Structure 1
Amino acid sequence: MSNVVKRNFRPTKTWYEDADKYWKTVPSSIDGMLGGLEVVHRPDVRDSLKFIAKIRSNTSAPVGSAYACDCGSGIGRVTKHVLLDQFDKVDLVEQNDKFLETAASQYLHEEVESGRVCSMFATGLQGFTPAEGKYDVIWCQWVLGHLTNSDMVAFLRRCASGLAPNGLVCVKENIARQGYIVDKEDSSVTRTEAIFERIFNKADMEIVEKDVQTELPQGCFVVKMWALRSK
């Protein structure tokens, strides 16, 4: 077993390098993006679209539909099936060059050619700073587990500056029952709901909406969704 439950999370010196090495071994496919659980794809897309519809229902602070950012995009699974359904244009952020090459040349080729998929940033989130006021939604799914606590706080603060008026940061992540579950194979950590929400608070983000993913296979982590806005 590579998973270890810990009360505290202390990343190794090679935390980010180890994650990069792991993802370079993963195939550029939907199955690869989902860790061999392609069966999760349909319910994931369905509930993500429902979540966006829910945050869009707030007419007092309407979320725009011009531009989204897919953080930890991989080949662009979420971009293709969720974000492009809801937003005019999408940027991708992904540290693995191989995944971005697959996105540009195959998986999202038509969307790139049409101009709906715009910039592709080859960087980890610990090094990404969105352009000020650019995005209506910054979507972070199954990627924040690769960030240390302090880097997640810093990343979320940078994201707050990258939001358009009424913009939101959407987070969708696995949830641990207790403590931190550290996966030494892919250099990631699964946090409890309470730990996530303490980090959000430390980053000066308030929770606008939250929900839980349904119809996951038995044995999977609980998956929670949050919509965050700068306080």
Structure 2
Amino acid sequence: MTAEVVEDEAAFYSKAEMYWKEIPPTVDGMLGGYGNISNVDITGSKKFLQKFLGEGAGKTGTSCALDCGAGIGRITKRLLLPLFQTVDMVDVTKEFLSKAKSYLGKEGERVGNYFCCGLQDFHPQQGRYDVIWIQWVIGHLTDGHFVQFLRRCKLGLKPNGIICIKDNVAHEGVIMDDVDSSVCRDLPSVHRIMKEAGLQILAEEKQDNLPEDIYPVQTLALR
């Protein structure tokens, strides 16, 4: 549990904010120097997400998506804007959202809102989103705030909407990273939080073809 590794909650969040303010607003910066994995990541995410989209009973619509921890909009540009009519972006770093407006190009005109906010304080508009995509950012939330945020996301979904989480998973327990002030949870810890938030797992799969020197990456769809 994060309570065992996060000694000072306020410092945990402020240190992360300071870390990201020093990171260049580039794809390589967003991916911690692993910009070369972007294509593999996006391809895997698109294949996973498209299983849920479409028309018919239980299918998820394509009118509006939310990109959480959006950075400069790498996922918004390459995954969400090609699939959804409108995308909202939320990130704690103002400079990243400013850069997004040029990085996204003309397609950025279909970004509805740029929210500058930490996820621990962010409240999605109720009933707005078909898909809420949360990638490589849950480690910046304590367990309690993670549960609360997922509950708010659930309220932010349209009928048949889904929450997708894609993130690193530890082999065992919860591991603190003092450099960027984040935690990496193992899958049982992630599952426990999702259950506490009242969400069911619809699908779960490991991202293939990533470097061996990073934690495994898991993608989950929740409702």
Match of 1:167 among 143, 161, 167: 161
Partner of 2:43: 46
**Amino acid corresponding to residue 83 of structure 1 in structure 2:** L
Match of 1:62 among 41, 59, 62: 59
Say what the alpha-carbon RMSD is for the aligned residues.
1.5
**Amino acid corresponding to residue 108 of structure 1 in structure 2:** L
**Equivalent residue of 1:14, what SS?**
helix
Partner of 2:210: 216
Residues 55 and 227, structure 1, Cα contact 8 Å, conserved in 2: no
Partner of 1:127: 121
Match of 1:202 among 196, 201, 204: 196
Per the normalisation by structure 2, the TM-score is 0.95
Per the normalisation by structure 1, the TM-score is 0.92
Equivalent positions of 1:24-103 (< 5 A) are 24-56=21-53, 59-103=56-100
**Amino acid corresponding to residue 159 of structure 2 in structure 1:** P
How far 1:56 moved relative to its partner? Answer: 2.8
Q: What are structure 1's unaligned runs of at least 5 residues?
A: 1-5
Identity of aligned residues (%): 43
Partner of 1:192: 186
Partner of 1:107: 103
Residues 95 and 122, structure 1, Cα contact 8 Å, conserved in 2: yes
**Amino acid corresponding to residue 167 of structure 1 in structure 2:** G
**Amino acid corresponding to residue 89 of structure 1 in structure 2:** T
**Amino acid corresponding to residue 128 of structure 2 in structure 1:** K
How far 1:50 moved relative to its partner? Answer: 0.4
Aligned length: 221
**Amino acid corresponding to residue 125 of structure 2 in structure 1:** A
How far 1:218 moved relative to its partner? Answer: 1.9
Partner of 1:145: 139
**Equivalent residue of 2:51, what SS?**
helix
CA distance in 2, matches of 1:10, 1:100: 28
Residues 6 and 12, structure 2, Cα contact 8 Å, conserved in 1: no
Once the two structures are superposed, what CA deviation does each residue of 1:55-93 show, in whole Å capped at 9, x if it has no partner?
237953010000000000000000000011211110000
Once the two structures are superposed, what CA deviation does each residue of 1:168-213 show, in whole Å capped at 9, x if it has no partner?
0100010000111100110100000110000000000100111110
How far 1:10 moved relative to its partner? Answer: 2.9
**Is 1:10 aligned with 2:12?**
no
**Amino acid corresponding to residue 144 of structure 2 in structure 1:** S
